[in-house]
Amino acid sequence: MKEVIKITFPSYSRNESFARGAVSAYAIRLDPTLEELNDVKAAVSEAVTNSVVHGYPDRIGIIELSIWSEKNVLYIRVKDKGLGIADVEQAMQPLFTTATDGERAGLGFAVMEDFCDNVSVKSAVGKGTVVTLSKKIKSRANNI
């Protein structure tokens, strides 16, 4: 049976580090290198921050984080029931951002794509967004 760990939390920005911590704690089982662990932490940080900032810009909503693995592939799913994305392809282009405060670089999806093996985004306007990340972990033991 596939063991999925599911955590839901409110979209307070302080929970961005909580999500990274939860994913790190799980990923340790796969014996990642420090670089792999940092890659995974960054990718989940981007996905959760997007739900906080763009999914629920004007309210606190629920974010659902699911973590599982199959053999040495780590899967992370971040789901919100927020505003959704009208044009996913455009949103995923590096440097594209709808933020207007000049403090976002439009690089969240670029980090996810660069640091993971696969990024899938499903979104519907008014319904929410689901981002699924996967990354093959080359166990540290195999690198020594």
The residues assigned a catalytic role are 46, 50, 104
Q: Residue 114 and residue 119: Cα distance in Å, rounded? A: 9
Q: What's the min distance (Å) between Cβ of 2 and another protein? A: 24
Contact call for residues 82 and 56 (beta carbons, < 8 A): yes
Q: Tell which residue, 48, 76, 83, 41, has the closest CA to residue 63.
A: 48
Query: Is residue 25 within the footprint of another protein (CB under 8 A)?
Result: yes
Distance (Å, whole) CA 118 – CA 92: 13
Residue in 62, 73, 88, 110 binding another protein, rule: CB under 8 A: 110
Task: Report the interface residues with another protein, using CB under 8 A.
Answer: 13-14, 16-17, 20-21, 24-25, 28, 34-35, 37-38, 41-42, 45-46, 49, 52-53, 102-105, 107-108, 110-111, 114
